[in-house]
């Protein structure tokens, strides 16, 4: 299982797409935070916090995560190496978990360079270090769970797609619906328990809660449930392919 994780991670970084995906993510966030004028610009806003990153990262993740997951199973099918993978002494669930954990490693690699932004804002604070570090850590946890949920959705999309581009588009659509679709439906329903229930089915409601720095057990359970559901769906899809 460890060897499969290593294979997927090295395979991602052995292609230009891997580096481009991460560089585009960092550049997009950097543009919003430091260059493009507006409320998300650190200089224009005048506050030493990381809220700009956590507000814009989900939109970038909608494209970054599908780019990470699109090759995990779709490429195996295109290269006709999926049958070879099934001959390994691994269960279907171990194969799914290996590819998912490889995606988690890549997600962490994507987030680590943003610590530079945190350090920059710490130095720009008046006085230096005037930043809510606790809230920032909580927001990073929320962003990690958001990315982990998108990864599970993208892995499922890759397992049902015939090629990488189809996998990317399916993953993008599913992640968008899971992130904003339920919010849109809930906002167009009469206010009440039904609208509240529908909005709570979406990722945005729970991510926004954690982004405020409040780690609620219900939000953590939501993300864990989302991840488990799509990993099990991927396992069933893999069983169908066998």
Structural domain range at position 200: 2-241
* pLDDT higher than threshold 70 for residue 39: no
pLDDT averaged over every residue in the chain: 82
- Backbone φ and ψ for 191, nearest 5 degrees, come out as -60, 135
Nearest-angstrom CA–CA distance, 210 and 144: 11
- Backbone φ and ψ for 84, nearest 5 degrees, come out as -65, -35
What pLDDT was estimated at residue 125? 66
DSSP string spanning 16-39?
Answer: HHHHHHHHHHHHHHHIIIIIS-ST
Q: CB burial class (10 A; 0-12, 13-18, 19+) of residue 79? A: exposed
DSSP code of residue 190: P
What pLDDT was estimated at residue 48? 61
- What are the pLDDT digits (tens) for 154-196? 999 999 988 888 899 999 999 999 998 888 888 777 777 888 7
Q: Which has the minimum average pLDDT: 43-47, 169-173, 188-192, 224-228?
A: 43-47
Nearest-angstrom CA–CA distance, 153 and 171: 6
Six token digits for residue 75: 């490429």
- Are residues 69 and 104 in contact, defined by beta-carbon separation less than 8 angstroms? no
Model confidence, pTM: 0.88
**How many domains is the chain partitioned into structurally?**
1
């Amino acid at each position: 299982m460890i060897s499969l994780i290593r294979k997927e991670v090295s395979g991602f970084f052995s292609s230009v797409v891997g580096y481009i995906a991460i560089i585009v993510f960092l550049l997009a966030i950097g543009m919003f935070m430091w260059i493009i004028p507006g409320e998300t610009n650190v200089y224009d806003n005048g506050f030493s916090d990381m809220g700009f990153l956590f507000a814009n990262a989900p939109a970038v993740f909608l494209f970054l995560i599908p780019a990470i997951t699109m090759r995990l199973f779709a490429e195996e099918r295109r290269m006709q190496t999926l049958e070879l993978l099934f001959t390994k002494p691994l269960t279907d669930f171990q194969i799914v978990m290996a590819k998912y954990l490889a995606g988690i490693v890549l997600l962490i690699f994507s987030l680590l360079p943003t610590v530079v932004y945190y350090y920059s804002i710490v130095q720009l604070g008046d006085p230096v270090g005037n930043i809510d570090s606790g809230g920032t850590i909580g927001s990073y946890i929320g962003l990690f769970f958001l990315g982990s949920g998108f990864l599970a959705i993208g892995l499922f999309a890759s397992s049902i797609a015939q090629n990488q581009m189809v996998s990317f588009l399916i993953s993008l659509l599913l992640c968008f619906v899971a992130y904003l679709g339920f919010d849109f439906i809930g906002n167009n329903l009469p206010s009440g328990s039904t609208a509240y229930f529908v909005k709570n089915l979406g990722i945005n409601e729970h991510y926004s809660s954690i982004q405020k720095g409040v780690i609620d057990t219900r939000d953590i359970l939501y993300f864990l449930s989302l991840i488990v559901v799509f990993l099990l769906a991927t396992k069933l899809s893999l069983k169908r392919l066998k």
